[in-house]
Amino acid sequence: MQVVILENPDAVAEYGSQIFINRLKSSPKSVLGLATGSTPVALYKKLIEACEAKEISFSDVTTFNLDEYLGLSGEHPQSYRYFMNEQLFNHVDVNTANTYVPPGSAENPVVACKEYEDLIKQNGGIDIQLLGIGRNGHIGFNEPSSGLMSRTRVKTLTKETIEDNARFFGPDEFQPHLSITMGIGTILDSRKVVLLATGENKADAVRDAIEGPLAASCPASALQLHQNAVFVVDEAAASKLSQCDFYKHIEQENQKLIQQLATL
Ligand code: PGA
């Protein structure tokens, strides 16, 4: 695992966006795994800017989102499809037919989950998966106790997640308690994983994911099994890591190596 500790949320968004920008420059046909939540918004802004500046194009890109509320159609303002349209898709040159979000209004969610898995495979798998992390260590809607090899399925949300997301719903608005989410096994199949975390309220989850045992109680700890996972975190989210200096040292050495290789 690569752990990159940066000064503030803007630096996290900048570092994360460069990973995607570099990928799209070298492989315009990439399959991207995308995430919702507050954390990725700044990264999406930077991708939009890069697209407007014609640095990158999404015209040949295919995207798969991690999760969706079960019971909300894509037109619902709190649906993750709606969020993605607003925060990214409507502002870049992506073909919306190539943007996939699990269908929250599927008649048969069990069949829809299997179809989502099949669709990812048919598209050759995910090249880079973007992740946030919940305060409870969830990735996607894989809540604590999720199977570490799970596939796309219906998941019940924890009380904590429902409370965290209540801010987006009106007081009398229906807030779903169920979701369709890629499984942890689905996420681990991605060729690269980029997890962003900012703020002190993520510090416990970040510590457990990086330094805790591999455990279903912290779903993000499953990334310890991944060959190409990078955690990009700000100082506040890193504040409970015991090996901060070591991670910073590794990152400096990595940067030196990259510079040396560039001169060859
Ligand atoms: P947040 O959500 O970015 O809104 O904190 C992250 C998550 O729950 O995965």
* 130-146 pLDDT per residue, tens: 999 999 999 999 999 99
Ligand 1 centroid vs 39 CA: distance in angstroms?
A: 6
pTM of the complete model: 0.96
Q: Look up tokens 């990214």; give the residue.
A: 88
* 99-100 and 178-181 beta bridge pairing: unpaired
- State the Cα–Cα distance between residues 234 and 232, nearest whole angstrom: 7
What range defines the domain where residue 238 resides? 2-262
The dihedral over CA atoms of 228, 44, 147, 166, expressed in degrees to the nearest 10, equals 150
Q: Does the C-beta of 140 come closer than 6 Å to ligand 1?
A: no
Q: Does the C-beta of 201 come closer than 6 Å to ligand 1?
A: no
Q: Does the C-beta of 186 come closer than 6 Å to ligand 1?
A: no
For the record, the structure tokens of 70 come out as 């079960």
240, with CB counted inside 10 A (0-12, 13-18, 19+), is middle
Atom number in ligand 1 closest to CA 161: 8
Q: Look up tokens 């299997």; give the residue.
A: 114
Ligand 1 centroid vs 26 CA: distance in angstroms?
A: 29
pLDDT digits (tens, 9 = 90+) for 51-65: 999 999 999 999 999
Ligand 1 centroid vs 12 CA: distance in angstroms?
A: 14
Q: What is the overall mean pLDDT for the chain?
A: 97
Q: Residue 85: its pLDDT value, please? A: 98
Q: What is the CATH number of the domain that holds 51?
A: 3.40.50.1360
Number of domains, the chain: 1
- State the Cα–Cα distance between residues 261 and 264, nearest whole angstrom: 5
